[in-house]
Amino acid sequence: MEKSIEQIWKNGFLNEDLLIPKVKSLYNQKSISIVENIINKFKKQIFLLIPLGILVFIFNIILDNENAIFWGSISAIPCFIWFLIGKNQVKSIKEIDYKSNSYDYLVAVREKINQIRSFNKRLIITCVPLGFLPMLIYTYFNQQGKTIGEIFGVDGLYYPTVFIFLLIPILTLIAVLISNFLFKIISKNRTFDITSLIKEMEELSPKP
Amino acid sequence: MSNDFYTTSILPYSAIIIKICRVYSNSQQDFEDYFQEVCLQIWRSRNNFKGNSKKTTWIYRLSLNVCLTLLKKEDKYRVVHINSNNLPDRFIEDKQVFTDKDLSKLYESIKQLSEVDRAIITLYLEELSYKEIAQIIGTNTNNIGVKIKRIKNRLKKILTKNKF
C-alpha cells in the first residue's frame, strides 16, 4: 500500500531516534560577518581622507596666499599620511589570527579596534594643529594688518589677524567630533555586537 | 547555557527544532548550524516567553523565524573555518540526523516548496490545528485549509515526478 505523506512523516519519526546534532563552530559565521562589516566600513572611511586632503589644499588656495600650491600641499600631507596609517590599521585587523577560536578572535578584534580608536584620537589632536599651523603662520605674516573678515572675505569680522590662530583649537575640536562620529558609524551596533557575542560566549562556556 | 535550561527548555522540544531545521537546511552542516542557532535563540529569548501561548507554539514560531532569517542571510556570510575549542560540549553528538530513507525523500520534496509552504506543511504534519498554524505563520485561519490542500497536491506531484 502506498504511504501517505502523513504516514511517512509519522512513521519516520516514530522509527527514528531524534538525535541532537553535532555542534561545530557556534559563532564562527557571525564573528566573521561582524568583523568583515567593520573592516568594510573602515576601508570606506579611509578612502574619504583623500578628498579631505584635496579639500584642505583647495582651502589654502581660497585663502589666497602666495605660494598657495606649496602650502596647500604641505597642509594636505597629514591627510595622506593618515590614509596610509589607516590602511595599515585595516591590515592589522585583517591579520588577527583566524585560526584561533572565535572567542579569542573577537576579543582580539575588540582590543585592536579600541587601540585604533585611541591612537586615531591622539593622532588628530597632534596632526590637525601641525597640519594647519604652517598655513596659518604664513597667513599671519602674509596678511598682516588685515582683519579676519578681510582675510576670509566675510563682512563684520573685525578681529585682528592674530585671531586666525583660534582656528587651531576650533579645527582640532571639529576633527575630533568628526572622528568620533565616523567611528560611531563604523561601530554602530558592531562593537556592541562583538561585546554581546563575547558576553554570550562567556556565559555559555566560562573562561577559566 | 546551564544544564537545567538545556534539560527543561531544549531537550523536550528538540524534536520540533530538528524537524523545522531539517526542512530549511540542505546539508548536515547547514542543519547543525540552524539547530545551534535556534537553541541559542531560545536561550537568548528565554525571558520573553510570557505564557500567552503554548510553549510548543512559541518554539515553533521562534524556530521558523530563526531558520527563515538564516536562509535570507546565508549568502551574506563568508565561510571561514575557525577552530572552536571553547564551545559547550553537551550538544555534541557524532551521529548523523539524515538517516531514514522515506522521511529523507519526503524532506527532499518539501524543500522544493516555497519557504512559507514548507512551514505550513511541516506544522500540518505536526498535527497542529489550523488556528495554531495561522497563529504561528501570522495569517488567517480560513486560508490555511485551502493552502494545505494545495500544498499537499503539489507535494504529491513532486513525489510522483521524482519517483519517490
Nearest by Cα to A171 from A129, A134, A138, A135: A129
| Mean per-residue pLDDT, A48-56 | 87
Interchain contact, B99 vs A25, CB within 8 Å: no
Nine cell digits for residue B117:
509552504
Dump pLDDT digits (tens) for B111-156. Answer: 899 988 999 999 999 889 998 898 888 888 888 888 999 999 999 8
Tell me the mean pLDDT in the region A25-51.
Answer: 76
Helix (H, G, I), strand (E, B) or coil at A19: coil
Q: What is the ipTM of this complex?
A: 0.72
> A176-187 burial, b for 16+ CB within 10 Å, e for fewer?
eeebeebbeebb
For the stretch A100-110, pLDDT in tens is 677 788 888 88
Q: Which residue has the higher pLDDT, B14 or A189?
A: B14
Q: What span, in angstroms and rounded, lies between the C-alpha atoms of A135 and B154?
A: 76
Taking only the tens place, the pLDDT of each residue in B28-53 is 778 888 888 888 888 888 888 888 88
* A16: alpha, beta or left? (left if phi > 0; alpha if psi -120 to 50): beta
Amino acid at A115: Q
**φ and ψ at residue A3, rounded to 5 degrees:** -80, 140
Assess whether pLDDT exceeds 60 at residue A134. yes
What is d(CA A196, CA A175) in angstroms, rounded to the nearest whole number?
30
**The pLDDT value given to residue A27:** 59
Say which residue, A194 or A204, is predicted with more confidence. Answer: A194
Looking at residue B102, the DSSP 8-state letter turns out to be: H
Gap between the Cα atoms of A96 and B93, Å rounded: 31
Tell whether the model's pLDDT for residue A117 goes beyond 50.
yes
**What pLDDT was estimated at residue A49?**
84
**In which band, very low, low, confident or very high, does the pLDDT at A127 lie, cut at 50, 70 and 90?**
confident
Lowest mean pLDDT, pick from A2-6, A53-57, A84-88, A190-194: A190-194
Q: What are the tens digits of pLDDT across the range A144-192?
A: 888 888 877 777 778 888 888 888 899 889 888 887 887 777 666 555 5
Whole-angstrom distance, CA of residue A73 vs CA of residue A62: 14
Q: What is the pLDDT of residue B90?
A: 41
Tally Cβ neighbours within 10 Å of residue B33: 23
Using DSSP's 3-state secondary structure scheme, residue A131 falls into helix
Band the pLDDT of B77: cuts 50, 70, 90: very low
- Chain A residues whose CB is inside 8 A of the B29 CB are 24
Cell of B58: 512559541
Inter-helix orientation angle A102-142/A68-94, to 10° = 170
Q: Is the CB of A28 less than 8 angstroms away from the CB of B102? A: no
Q: What is the pLDDT of residue A26?
A: 52
What are the DSSP calls for B111-148, one per residue? TTS-HHHHHHHHHHHTT--HHHHHHHHTS-HHHHHHHH
Distance from CA of A192 to the nearest CA of B (A): 16
pLDDT of residue B89: 41
pLDDT at position A177 is 87
The verdict on a CB contact (< 8 Å) between A18 and B159 is no
**pLDDT tens-digit readout, A171-184:** 889 888 887 887 77
Question: Mean pLDDT, to the nearest integer, of B18-34?
Answer: 85
Determine, for residues A19 and B36 on separate chains, whether the beta-carbon distance falls below 8 Å: no
Q: Any residues with CB less than 8 A from the CB of B37 and at least 6 apart, and which? A: B66, B70
Contact A162/A140 with Cβ under 8 angstroms?
yes
**B103 to chain A: which residues are within 8 Å by CB?**
8-9, 12-13, 16
Across the range B11-26, mean pLDDT stands at: 87
Per cent of chain A over pLDDT 90 is 3
Domains of chain B: 1-95 (1.10.1740.10), 100-164 (1.10.10.10)
Measured between alpha carbons, how far is A1 from B127 in angstroms, rounded to an integer? 22
Question: pLDDT band at A29, cuts 50/70/90?
Answer: low
**Which positions in chain B touch A12 (Cβ < 8 Å)?**
100, 102-103, 106
From A30, which residue of chain B is nearest by alpha-carbon distance?
Answer: B77
Size of interface A-B (CB pairs under 8 A): 120
Closest residue, chain B, to A9 (C-alpha):
B103
State yes or no: pLDDT of B87 exceeds 50: no
pLDDT at A22: 54
Instruction: Please tell me the predicted confidence (pLDDT) of residue B63.
Output: 92
Q: Long-range contacts of range B2-11, CB-CB < 8 Å, 24 or more positions apart?
A: B3/B90, B5/B43, B5/B46, B6/B90, B9/B42, B9/B43, B9/B46, B10/B39, B10/B42, B10/B43
Instruction: Name the 3-class secondary structure at B15.
Output: helix
Which of B14, B84, B155, B160 is the mutation pick for testing A, counting most A CBs within 10 A?
A: B84
Residues of A in contact with B77 (CB under 8 A): 29, 32-33
For chain B, list residues whose CB is within 8 angstroms of any CB belonging to chain A.
1, 14-15, 18-19, 28-29, 31-33, 35-36, 40, 44, 76-88, 91-97, 99-100, 102-103, 105-106, 125, 152, 155-156, 159
Residues of A with CB below 8 A from B32's CB? 21-24
